Amino acid sequence: MNSPISLVQSIDALLPQTQCGLCGHRDGCLPYAQSITEGENANKCVPGGQPVADALAALLNRPKLQAEESVWPVQADGRPQRIKAVIREDECIGCTKCISACPVDAIIGSGKLMHTILTDLCTGCELCIPPCPVDCIDLVEDDQPLPNEAQRIAEQEDLRQRYYAHIQREEKRRTDRKGPVVRAEIDTALFARFSALNEQLPVIEVASKPEHVPVALDSKTTIELAKLRTQIKKLEKQLSVREDVRKRTQLEELTQQLQALQG
Ligand code: SF4
Ligand code: SF4
Ligand code: SF4
């Protein structure tokens, strides 16, 4: 059943965007938003706690339900304690598995080198912990002041953007068969559909799986060039409305890729 996109969007806007999957939707907040429009209860977002469950009930004109409980204590704003992940860097073996697992690209490092978590970006979703073969990632309470409403909305917007960029990169990595597989494949199609309808989100294109029959280099290159041009065009359009450092960097990277392909 197709849900009105605007309702999915309004629900998604209230969800924390940690993409943790604790609501039972492995691929994160958007699939849960869609499922709510199809009748699922709206009290299952664990990091959102009671405030998100109540906001969703009001939006949907449904009775208020008690929010799913978190293992963390409730903070002053009624949501569960915010947490951060920290790598015990001297124990890290540089296997890179945590990088693919992090939905918001908060971990930096490369093969056989120590990895670090960018604390400001970490949402404490815990998804990097199971893949770590040496169990060197700890969770600590976030001692920063709680965000106000405007800061929370800005944070959610940034996390959503980062997740879409992550999906696009993982989609490419999957089809190129590079890097370790540390989580089930994301259902990219839903995100691609949503990003195509929302100009503010990075473009997600579902890459086709490699063919068994050889494809002529020329046609492959032509398809790749077309994809890059589409992405560049969209980013240029977005940047002409509002400057954004991350999008500017993405634009530069894509332009370089385009130039490299064009030889
Ligand atoms: S933040 Fe909430 S809605 Fe999003 S994936 Fe986690 S539990 Fe689900
Ligand atoms: S570093 Fe770990 S806990 Fe933090 S956002 Fe990434 S996957 Fe989640
Ligand atoms: S998964 Fe663990 S050992 Fe591997 S790079 Fe990440 S922190 Fe280091």
Q: How far is the CA of 25 from the centre of ligand 1 (A)?
A: 8
* Cβ of residue 23 lying under 6 Å from some atom of ligand 1: yes
pLDDT, position 212:
44
Compute the distance between CA of residue 36 and CA of residue 15 in angstroms, rounded to an integer: 12
CA distance 72 to 124: 11
Residues with CB under 6 A from ligand 3: 87, 92-98, 109, 115, 131-132, 134, 136-137
What's the whole-model pTM score? 0.75
| Atom number of ligand 1 nearest to Cα 44 | 7
Residue located via tokens 């976030």: 142
Residue 211 pLDDT:
47
Inter-residue contact 79 to 68 (CB < 8 Å): no
Rounded to the nearest whole angstrom, what is the distance from the C-alpha of residue 157 to the centroid of ligand 3? 28
From 88, 89, 90, 95, mutation site for ligand 3 pocket: most ligand atoms within 8 A of C-beta: 95
Rounded to the nearest whole angstrom, what is the distance from the C-alpha of residue 178 to the centroid of ligand 3?
A: 17
So what's the pLDDT on residue 12? 96
| SS (HEC) of the chain | CCCCHHHHHHHHHHCCCCCCCCCCCCCCHHHHHHHHHCCCCCCCCCCCHHHHHHHHHHHHCCCCCCCCCCCCCECCCCCECCEEEEECHHHCCCCCHHHHHCCCCCEECCCCCCCEECCCCCCCCCCCCCCCCCCCEEEEECCCCCCCHHHHHHHHHHHHHHHHHHHHHHHHHHHHCCCCCCCCCCCHHHHHHHHHHCCCCCCCCCCCCCCCCCCCHHHHHHHHHHHHHHHHHHHHHHHHHCCCHHHHHHHHHHHHHHHHHHC
Structure tokens at 44: 């299952």
Distance 202 CA to ligand 1 centre (A): 20
Instruction: Give distance in angstroms: CA of 28 to centre of ligand 1.
Output: 6
Ligand 1, closest atom to CA 46?
Answer: 7
Distance CA 244, CA 103 (A): 20
pLDDT value, residue 207: 67
Ligand 1: residue whose CA is nearest its atom 8 = 23
45 lines ligand 1 (CB under 6 A): yes
Please tell me the predicted confidence (pLDDT) of residue 215.
41
pLDDT tens series, the chain, 263 aa: 445 778 999 999 999 999 999 999 999 999 999 999 999 999 999 999 999 999 999 999 999 999 999 999 999 999 999 999 999 999 999 999 999 899 999 998 877 777 788 889 999 999 999 999 999 999 999 999 999 999 999 999 999 999 999 988 877 776 665 554 445 567 788 888 888 877 778 777 776 654 443 444 455 677 778 778 878 888 887 888 788 888 888 888 888 888 777 66
What is the CB-side half-sphere exposure of residue 62 using CA atoms within 13 A? 17
Measured by CA distance, the residue closest to atom 2 of ligand 2 is 128
Rounded distance from Cα 137 to ligand 2 centre (Å):
10
Q: What's residue 216's pLDDT?
A: 43
